[in-house]
């Protein structure tokens, strides 16, 4: 009877999904289960507000990233989940149980820090086994569980080595193994890759995501590095000034930013001035550098002659020959060879600059630009994203530096 009742409930939902071509998102919505909830969390340090009535639900089994510049509140939020900080207001619940005032050692969560925090005098095996020994687990169980997690992080041949005999990436994997061997409900990672070089960071991004899938537990990852967030996350929470600016999938955050801060902080962005010239039921016409573009109506209200920001990522830009009939005239003022792509900066006739990033054409060995070369700039219709002009929020110097550091 219970199965029949469940089928009666699910059938119309699944039928709707099939007929509307959105089966995956409907089913995913049904399967989401909140593991940890932060409700109207506020925190001040020395009179400065770090978190301001912030609310966030974290789902069981997801990889969620808290992304933002220094001072945005992301690490404080993580420390509240772990129990190292208490909120001034608000509640933290885990699996429906209020753990707001519960000390860290009583929470079924573990934290991996940037510094690794390994015991230098202990072997890899003893570092990983330490928590289980403190719980006085049986020796056979400890051996089995340590062997299991060391195999997962591919360090089963390094059990006798001390931390100083390991590379940075190997030390990080030991720290992760030590954190997951106790089988926590959630793993909290506070900028764990920031001390690694670029190539090793890329490798560890793949390793972390693989490990999270194998373990099936929730990972909460803190970083200021947009590439890490985009490549590993199921969802990203972009933070600034103690608020969540946007919460969504990597594609939503990158392709459909909620405001200009998110657009500027997550990746490089071109902002073109646009003006609404006509408004239809589902589309609007926008004048961009004298070019008419018919675009989908944005979610916010628009009026005739309203000024808008037209957002385009560098990879959306097309650099054309100077005699091409499309686009806007410009001149190459910078070019940067990056191996797989050629990045260029084009100055338009009004003095504004456009960033373009193009993959090399392997069939054209002469593909390149010279400083001072005349070109035209265009883009594919439909790749634009609109934001209202009044939402303008320039990045601070610190935020600009954090975004630049993440790019490099």
| CA angle 386–237–105, rounded 5-degree value | 175
Q: Is 277 part of any domain?
A: yes
Task: Judge if 246 and 121 occupy the same domain.
Answer: yes
Those residues with Cβ within 8 angstroms of residue 224's Cβ, 6 or more apart along the chain or in another chain:
67, 68, 69, 70, 191, 402, 405, 406
Task: Judge if 250 and 265 occupy the same domain.
Answer: no
CATH of the domain at 377: 2.40.50.140
Task: Judge if 118 and 200 occupy the same domain.
Answer: yes
Q: What is the pLDDT of residues 91-101, one digit of tens each?
A: 999 999 999 99
- pLDDT for position 397: 56
Q: Is 265 part of any domain?
A: yes
Task: Judge if 135 and 185 occupy the same domain.
Answer: yes
Task: Judge if 122 and 98 occupy the same domain.
Answer: yes
Task: Judge if 332 and 214 occupy the same domain.
Answer: no
Task: Judge if 117 and 98 occupy the same domain.
Answer: yes
Q: What is the pLDDT of residues 305-342, one digit of tens each?
A: 999 999 999 999 999 999 998 899 999 999 998 888 89
**Tokens of residue 338, six digits:** 């990056």
Q: Is 18 part of any domain?
A: no
> How does the average pLDDT of the chain come out, rounded?
86
- What is the number of domains present in the chain? 2
Rounded to whole angstroms, how far apart are CA atoms 166 and 159? Answer: 11
- pLDDT for position 192: 86
Task: Judge if 229 and 377 occupy the same domain.
Answer: no
Show the low-confidence residues of the chain (pLDDT under 50). 1-31, 391-392, 406-408
Rounded to whole angstroms, how far apart are CA atoms 146 and 397? Answer: 45
Q: Is 9 part of any domain?
A: no
The model carries a pTM of: 0.83
Q: Is 186 part of any domain?
A: yes
Q: Is 302 part of any domain?
A: yes
Beta bridge partners of 30: none
Task: Judge if 331 and 190 occupy the same domain.
Answer: no
Rounded to whole angstroms, how far apart are CA atoms 383 and 313? Answer: 9
Task: Judge if 172 and 193 occupy the same domain.
Answer: yes
Task: Judge if 137 and 172 occupy the same domain.
Answer: yes
- pLDDT for position 96: 93
280 and 304 in contact (C-beta within 8 Å)?
no
Which of 227, 260, 293 is at the close of a domain? 260
Task: Judge if 280 and 232 occupy the same domain.
Answer: no
Rounded to whole angstroms, how far apart are CA atoms 249 and 254? Answer: 9
Domain that holds residue 105: 46-260
**Tokens of residue 173, six digits:** 């994997």
Which of 260, 285, 315 is at the close of a domain? 260
CATH of the domain at 245: 3.40.50.300
Q: Is 222 part of any domain?
A: yes
Which of 205, 234, 260 is at the close of a domain? 260
Those residues with Cβ within 8 angstroms of residue 400's Cβ, 6 or more apart along the chain or in another chain:
none
Closest CA to 354 of 385, 333, 323, 384: 333
């Amino acid at each position: 009877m219970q199965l029949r009742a469940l089928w009666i409930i699910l059938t119309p939902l699944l039928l709707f999904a099939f007929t509307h071509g959105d089966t995956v998102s409907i089913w995913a919505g049904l399967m989401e289960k909140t593991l940890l909830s932060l409700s109207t969390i506020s925190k001040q340090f020395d009179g400065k507000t770090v978190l301001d009535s912030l609310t966030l639900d974290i789902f069981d089994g997801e990889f969620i990233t808290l992304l933002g510049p220094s001072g945005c509140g992301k690490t404080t939020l993580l420390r509240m989940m772990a129990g190292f900080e208490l909120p001034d207001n608000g509640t933290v619940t885990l699996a429906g149980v209020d753990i707001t005032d519960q000390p860290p050692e009583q929470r079924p969560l573990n934290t991996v820090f940037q510094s690794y925090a390994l015991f230098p005098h202990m072997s890899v095996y003893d570092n990983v086994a330490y928590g289980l020994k403190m719980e006085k687990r049986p020796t056979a169980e400890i051996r089995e569980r340590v062997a299991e997690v060391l195999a997962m992080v591919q360090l089963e041949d390094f059990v006798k080595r001390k931390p100083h005999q390991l590379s940075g990436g190997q030390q990080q994997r030991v720290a992760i193994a030590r954190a997951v061997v106790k089988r926590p409900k959630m793993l909290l990672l506070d900028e764990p890759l920031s001390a690694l070089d670029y190539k090793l960071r890329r490798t560890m991004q793949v390793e972390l995501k693989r490990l999270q899938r194998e373990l099936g537990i929730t990972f909460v990852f803190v970083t200021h590095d947009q590439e890490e967030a985009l490549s590993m996350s199921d969802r990203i929470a972009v933070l600034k000034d103690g608020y969540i600016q946007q919460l969504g999938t990597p594609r939503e955050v990158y392709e459909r930013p909620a405001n200009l801060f998110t657009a500027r902080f997550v990746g490089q962005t071109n902002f073109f001035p646009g003006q609404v010239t006509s408004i239809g039921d589902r589309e609007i016409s926008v004048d961009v550098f004298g070019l008419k573009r018919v675009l989908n109506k944005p979610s916010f209200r628009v009026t005739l002659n309203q000024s808008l920001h037209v957002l385009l990522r560098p990879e959306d830009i097309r650099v054309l020959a100077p005699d091409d009939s499309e686009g806007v005239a410009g001149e190459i003022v910078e070019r940067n060879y990056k191996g797989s792509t050629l990045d260029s900066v084009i100055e338009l006739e009004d003095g504004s600059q456009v960033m373009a990033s193009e993959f090399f054409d392997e069939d054209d060995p002469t593909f390149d630009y010279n400083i001072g070369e005349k070109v035209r700039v265009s883009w594919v219709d439909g790749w634009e994203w609109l934001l209202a002009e009044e939402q303008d929020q320039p990045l601070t110097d610190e935020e600009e530096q954090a975004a630049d550091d993440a790019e490099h």
